[in-house]
Amino acid sequence: MTQTAIITGASSGIGAAAAALFLNAGFAVINISRRPCPVSGVTDLCGDLSDRKSVQELTSSLSAHLKDTQPESVCLVHNAALMLKDTADDTDDASLATVLQINTLAINNLNRELLPLMPSGSSVLFVGSTLSEKAVKGAFSYVVSKHAQLGMMRATCQDLMGRGIHTALICPGFTDTEMLRNHIGQDQKIVEAISSMNSFGRLVEPEEIARLIVWAHSNPVINGAVLHGNLGQVEH
Domain boundaries, the chain: 3-228
Encode pLDDT of 113-159 as tens digits: 999 999 999 999 999 999 999 999 999 999 999 999 999 999 999 99
d(CA 58, CA 110): 9
| Residue 102: half-sphere exposure toward Cβ, Cα within 13 Å | 24
pLDDT of residue 184: 63
Q: Count Cβ atoms below 10 Å from residue 100 Cβ, excluding itself.
A: 16
- Mean pLDDT throughout 54-78? 97
Nearest to 5 by CA among 81, 146, 100, 114: 114
In percent, the amount of the chain with pLDDT more than 70 equals 94
Is the pLDDT confidence value at 178 over 80? no
Alpha-carbon torsion angle 145, 215, 117, 55, nearest 10: 30
Q: How far apart are CA 32 and CA 37, in angstroms?
A: 9
Residue 1 has pLDDT above 70, yes or no: no
pLDDT band at 202 (very low <50, low <70, confident <90, very high): confident
Domain 3-228 adopts which CATH fold? Rossmann fold (3.40.50)
The total of other beta-carbon atoms located within 10 Å of residue 131's CB is 18
> Is 174 a residue whose pLDDT tops 90?
no
In this prediction, residue 210 has a pLDDT band, given cuts at 50, 70 and 90, of: very high
Nearest to 32 by CA among 2, 1, 3, 54: 54
**Alpha helix stretches (DSSP H) within the chain:** 13-24, 52-69, 93-100, 106-114, 140-159, 178-184, 188-195, 206-217
User: Does 175 have pLDDT greater than 90?
Assistant: no
Contact 83, 143 (CB under 8 A): no
Cβ atoms within 10 Å, residue 26: 8
- Flag whether pLDDT at 226 surpasses 90: yes
- What is the rounded CA–CA span in Å between residue 184 and residue 30? 30
For residue 192, the tally of other CB atoms under 10 A from its CB is 12
Q: Is the pLDDT of residue 236 over 90?
A: no
